Amino acid sequence: MNIKKVRITPQIAEEMLKNNNINRSISKPHVRSLARQMKDGLWKCENGDVLRFSKSGKLLDGQHRLTAIIKSNITLDLFVIYDLDEDVFEFIDAGKSRNGGDVLTIAGVKSGGHISHLISTYFYLKKGMTGRCAVGKTRITNHEILKLYKENVDMYENALKKGRMWNTSFDKVLSASVLGAYYIYLNEKSPKRVDLFFTKLCYGLEFTSKNDPIKVLRDKLMLLKFDKMKQLSHKYIHIYIIKTWNYYLQEKNIKRLTFQENENIPIPLGYIY
């Protein structure tokens, strides 16, 4: 076995992939995610990732990275291990990969898992995504989670603190990290109105009418907690939160929250006063 640092151009990556005949099928979303990281300068040789080749020259590990180099048209320096026995292939990637929470915890962040979920949820909200998981080039990386946290520690810690307080008051209908992420997201739209929005939603206080949109949302979400037959997807929860926020800023009363499939996903309004 020998290890070398190799400058891999898109052309070299194509040549290396010609010896790829025992790997799994290519995941296009994963390739797009890696290509985005490479274009954004988030991929470094020193991160420990290596390409692996057998004694006969077969590619054992690295097909997604090589394909991403071609897709991104980026040249990268990567460590390459040569002359491995082919039977090591079955042991590659057998261990559990680190997630964002692991990375934050290793960096000394308390509640790393909750902070990681908060940051990733906020990241996807900013990207206009409404589901739990991201796909393709929008996927947030562990490196980005750590970088975002370091750039604004107080903001994320404060948001999680508020999220925990509201989560307890709201009978844990929404998680602390989700509440914290929406707090940051909507705080950017109207910092003077956001605290009252979540106070009313989570404490159930200060309603002047049964048609107050926040009360309608609170009742709807509370019902979902106890009626397993009426569970909503993350997409619909997002839609109802944003619709309620918009009604709240416009000071409109409603009788019920609805969404038709032919409607556009609502965009949160901003209000500075």
| DSSP per position, 59-95 | EEE-HHHHHHHHHHT--EEEEEEEEE-GGGGGGTT-S
Domain boundaries, the chain: 2-86, 100-250
Return the pLDDT at 91: 54
DSSP E strands, the chain = 2-8, 50-54, 59-61, 76-84
Confidence of residue 69 (pLDDT cuts 50, 70, 90): very high
More confident residue, 60 or 201: 201
pLDDT tens per residue, range 127-140: 887 654 444 446 78
Return the pLDDT at 85: 84
Q: Which two tokens stand for residue 202?
A: 């989570």
Which overall architecture, per CATH, does domain 2-86 show?
A: Alpha-Beta Complex (3.90)
pLDDT tens per residue, range 28-66: 888 888 888 888 888 777 666 789 998 888 888 888 899
Question: Is residue 109 exposed (0-12), middle (13-18) or buried (19+ Cβ within 10 Å)?
Answer: buried
Average pLDDT taken over every residue of the chain: 87
